Amino acid sequence: MRKQLSQGENKGSVGTLSRGLDILELFAGGSPELTQTEISDRLGLPVPTVHRLVRLLTERGWLVRDSASRRLRLGLGAARLLPAVRLPDLAREPLRALAARTGETVNLAALDGSDVLYLVSETGTHLLTLRSHVGLRLPVHSTALGKCLLAQLDDDDARAAAGDEPYEALTPKTLTSWDRLHANLERVRRDGVAHSREEFEIGLHSIAVPVAWLDADGPVAVNVSLPSSRAGREATARLMDDLRATAGAITGAAR
């Protein structure tokens, strides 16, 4: 259960965040390198406060310290956020075109810890269609997106992301053991496509393919979700081709 902050604690947390952002903004201006004393002077903050904030920012990679001069400069923390901001913007039009062309709901997702995290969702035009939303989190073991994301990791990382066995049985078809999931991931790696055939929800079929996104901080994938009644062999083959073309368009837009 998430701890509820008291009014005093909430104000303190906001103040700490504000001061941390103030420090980062100093470096974004005309001062690429600063000492803690210079930060203290410019912001009018006590040196112990600056020391505490700088220690946290360096631990998280937002600041780095030159080993020779001991001066601070911006780290890669901010750079890690840029792909997450840029990727949805570049992917939106190819996904929208795919949804319009097929009538099915399409999504772009990344791996966030042990969850599939939806970054973009475009709803199809069919009357009977699936509806998703940005920020939706789903389990990795029972979804096509999840298996596609796991398949882009090595086995140790994939098993860690899948979590403890047995995995939750959402339907009678859900893969609940690592042995069965691993065999499925090997097939995904070989074929370049992942399927979830009523493993997450009865009556739901999903197909996912990886997106080659070199700047991403982890694997990325796109999928189509549709009722099982529309997921015949020919329709599935067409959707796989469409997904691969869309993934290629997203990759190409980044170049």
* Beta carbons of 122 and 98 less than 8 angstroms apart: yes
Looking at residues 67-79, what average pLDDT do you find? 74
**Residue 10 pLDDT:** 46
CA separation for the pair 130, 115 (Å, rounded)? 19
CA separation for the pair 83, 87 (Å, rounded)? 6
Q: Does residue 71 lie within any of the structural domains?
A: yes
Domain boundary among 27, 57, 75: 75
Instruction: Give residue 59's domain range.
Output: 7-75
Is residue 216 located within the same domain as residue 92? yes
Is residue 167 located within the same domain as residue 68? no
- Can you give the chain as a three-state secondary structure string? CCCCCCHHHHHHHHHHHHHHHHHHHHHHCCCCCECHHHHHHHHCCCHHHHHHHHHHHHHCCCEEECCCCCCEEECCHHHHHHHHHHHHHHHHHHHHHHHHHHCCEEEEEEEECCEEEEEEEECCCCCCCCCCCCCCEEECCCCHHHHHHHCCCCHHHHHHHHCCCCCCCCCCCCCCCHHHHHHHHHHHHHHCCEEEECCCCCCEEEEEEECCCCCCCCCEEEEEEEEHHHCCHHHHHHHHHHHHHHHHHHHHHCC
Q: Does residue 2 lie within any of the structural domains?
A: no
Is residue 46 located within the same domain as residue 167? no
Is residue 111 located within the same domain as residue 224? yes
pLDDT above 90 as % of the chain: 62
Is residue 164 located within the same domain as residue 133? yes
Q: Does residue 102 lie within any of the structural domains?
A: yes
pTM for the whole structure: 0.70
Q: Does residue 33 lie within any of the structural domains?
A: yes
Domain boundary among 46, 75, 104: 75
Q: Does residue 1 lie within any of the structural domains?
A: no
Higher pLDDT, 187 or 13: 187
Higher pLDDT, 85 or 89: 89
Neighbour-count burial for 99-131, b at 16+ CB within 10 Å, e otherwise? beebbbbbbbbbbbebbbbbbbbbbbeeeebbe
Cis amide leading into 32 (omega within 30): no
Q: Whats the size of the chain, residue-wise?
A: 255
Is residue 30 located within the same domain as residue 154? no
CATH number at residue 208: 3.30.450.40
Is residue 133 located within the same domain as residue 190? yes
Is residue 24 located within the same domain as residue 145? no
pLDDT of 31 > 70? The answer is no
pLDDT of 3 > 70? The answer is no
Domain boundary among 29, 57, 75: 75
Q: Does residue 158 lie within any of the structural domains?
A: yes
Q: What is the pLDDT of residues 92-123, one digit of tens each?
A: 999 999 999 999 999 999 998 889 989 899 99
Q: What is the pLDDT of residues 196-223, one digit of tens each?
A: 999 999 999 999 999 997 555 689 999 9
CA separation for the pair 28, 128 (Å, rounded)? 49
Find all residues with CB under 8 Å of 37, minimum gap 6, and list them: 47
Number of domains in the chain: 2
Is residue 131 located within the same domain as residue 152? yes
Is residue 112 located within the same domain as residue 129? yes
**Residue 160 pLDDT:** 96
The closest of 191, 218, 60, 66 to 207, measured between CA atoms, is 191
**Residue 107 pLDDT:** 96
Q: What is the mean pLDDT of the chain?
A: 87
| Of the listed ranges 17-31, 143-157, 159-173, the one predicted with least confidence | 17-31
Is residue 124 located within the same domain as residue 181? yes
Is residue 233 located within the same domain as residue 119? yes
